[in-house]
Amino acid sequence: MILKPKGTYDMINEDAIKLQKINRLFEYFCDFYNYDFIRTPLFEAQDLFHRSVGDTSDIVTKETYDFKDRGNRDLTLRPEGTAGVVRSFIENKMYGENLPKKFFYNGTMYRYERPGKGRNRELTQLGVEVLGSNDPAIDAEVISLPYRLFEELGLKDLNVKINNLGSKEDRKLYRDALVSYLEPNIDCLCTDCQNRFKTNPLRILDCKVDRNNEILKNAPSILEYQSEESKKRFKKVIEYLELLDIDYEIDERLVRGLDYYDYTVFEITSSEEILGSANTIAGGGRYNHLVETLGGPDIPCMGFACGIERLMLAIDDDHFSKKRPLDCYILYVNEEEKMKAISLAQDLRISGVSCDYDTMGRSLKSQFKEADRNYAELLILLNSEDLKKGLITVKDNLTKVETKIDENEIIDYIVSNG
């Protein structure tokens, strides 16, 4: 037997229904926020991710699916969605059009990592990117959209953590201060942190091992190393968030693992009880220099991404995994009735009525069961005797009331009762 590749997932039954509902709700939200759908390739030039996500992040150093195609090109299955959208923005010269561009996307991402709860090699993300506006109102909007979405989905223990990484210059100042603070004590930190000290010292801040280490607790705060302008900007973001009634928590040690972020970064977490350590379901931030880094003009951007598999774990099954009901189910026994069932089904479907009938040679008794499994609201009982008189029996599956309808009026009857 051929099995699915490690870390991949078949979305079937309740999961498939849940996935569809999430997608529909997300698109519905995006309409109201005025975001347009964008679809970019599943694979891109390898270089794109090295230059955007950053060479020190784990995602790029050891988690990408890299391959050469038959033309010997170096390609990578996308590990995240932002880089592709930015590439498309630049390549299609959208910076010359009306800004901002507000996009939403939805698709699979690929990261070669050890699978576990809320961690897959093929993961599905939905997200938005706003390109062209540096208004703090956009920061607040991009945080509020997923927040409202999650509220609507009934997620428990929602928590928004937000931080300000400041500008590149701010960050360089802080980085130097942090390095000189940590240097004398570096031996007291865990081995991972000692490595991070060389590659990406800011990441030491949200190390879980050293989380409660006194050295880190007393480390200088990034918020103190920022220009007045950065601070003012962050204050505005907070002010707008409060205006939107979003509960947030400032976490000055929130850093995030992708190199392209500056200014606002945020994460939304849900119940740790359900999700364990993988309880970050959405994250994002501002990336004001990525467009320039990738060869475009100086265009400020902001976005978020949400891991759908984690979101699905966090959603209560009861409300979102019910199969949609069928308008009617047609029951028959002999071939004459079956012919009628087939043509009637066709007519009903064309008239906008969902319906189905048995194709497994089931007994009448079993057809009733099948109708219930499909949550059929009306049962159409075909009977040769009645058909000769031009009559068809319709049974309401809730009240169990049967009505004999003239064959010629059956469509109208069902449409008007549906």
Partner RNA sequence: GCGGAAUUGGUGAAGUGGUUAACACGCCGGAUUGUGGCUCCGGUAUGCGUGGGUUCGAUCCCCACAUUUCGCCCCA
Q: Is 334 in the site for RNA (CB under 7 A)?
A: yes
Which residues from 217-256 bind RNA, rule CB under 7 A? 256
Total residues in contact with RNA, by rule CB under 7 A: 72
Closest listed residue to residue 282, CA positions, set 61, 22, 2, 85: 22
Residue type, 50: H
Which residues from 370-399 bind RNA, rule CB under 7 A? 370-373, 379, 381-384, 393, 395, 397
Out of 243, 250, 339, 364, point to the residue binding RNA (CB under 7 A). 364
Which residues from 190-219 bind RNA, rule CB under 7 A? 192, 196, 203, 206-209
Q: H or E stretch including 390?
A: none
At its nearest, how many Å lie between RNA and the CB of residue 296? 21
Residue with smaller CB distance to RNA, 248 or 368: 368
CA 351 from centroid of its chain's CA atoms: 34
Out of 102, 111, 161, 340, point to the residue binding RNA (CB under 7 A). 111
At its nearest, how many Å lie between RNA and the CB of residue 320? 18
Helices (H) and strands (E) in the chain, counts: 17, 16
Q: Which two tokens stand for residue 103?
A: 């996009």
At its nearest, how many Å lie between RNA and the CB of residue 154? 18
| Residue pointed to by tokens 């230059």 | 51
CA 130 from centroid of its chain's CA atoms: 16
**What is the C-alpha to C-alpha distance for residues 144 and 182, in angstroms, rounded to an integer?**
36
Out of 84, 107, 283, 300, point to the residue binding RNA (CB under 7 A). 283
| Stretch of residues binding RNA (CB under 7 A), selected from 12-20, 235-243, 302-310, 345-353 | 302-310
Out of 281, 348, 353, 405, point to the residue binding RNA (CB under 7 A). 281
Out of 44, 267, 327, 377, point to the residue binding RNA (CB under 7 A). 267
Residue with smaller CB distance to RNA, 44 or 80: 80
- Phi then psi for 334, rounded to 5 degrees? -100, 175
272: how many CB neighbours lie within 10 A of its CB?
12
Which residues from 309-328 bind RNA, rule CB under 7 A? 309-310
| Residue pointed to by tokens 């000290």 | 197
Contact 208/200 with Cβ under 8 angstroms? no
Which residues from 134-173 bind RNA, rule CB under 7 A? none
* Straight-line distance from the first to the last Cα atom of the chain, in angstroms, rounded to the nearest whole number: 45
At its nearest, how many Å lie between RNA and the CB of residue 90? 21
Between the alpha carbon of residue 397 and those of residues 111, 210, 321, 418, the distances in Å are 48, 61, 22, 12
| Stretch of residues binding RNA (CB under 7 A), selected from 36-44, 51-59, 173-181, 218-226 | 51-59
Instruction: Name the region of 363 (left: φ>0; alpha: ψ -120 to 50; beta: rest).
Output: beta
At its nearest, how many Å lie between RNA and the CB of residue 108? 11
- Provide the 8-state DSSP code for 380: E
At its nearest, how many Å lie between RNA and the CB of residue 350? 24
Q: Is 64 in the site for RNA (CB under 7 A)?
A: no
Query: Which residues lie below 8 Å from residue 232, measured CB to CB, with a gap of 6+?
Result: none
Residue with smaller CB distance to RNA, 31 or 58: 58
Q: Is 113 in the site for RNA (CB under 7 A)?
A: yes
Residue with smaller CB distance to RNA, 309 or 327: 309
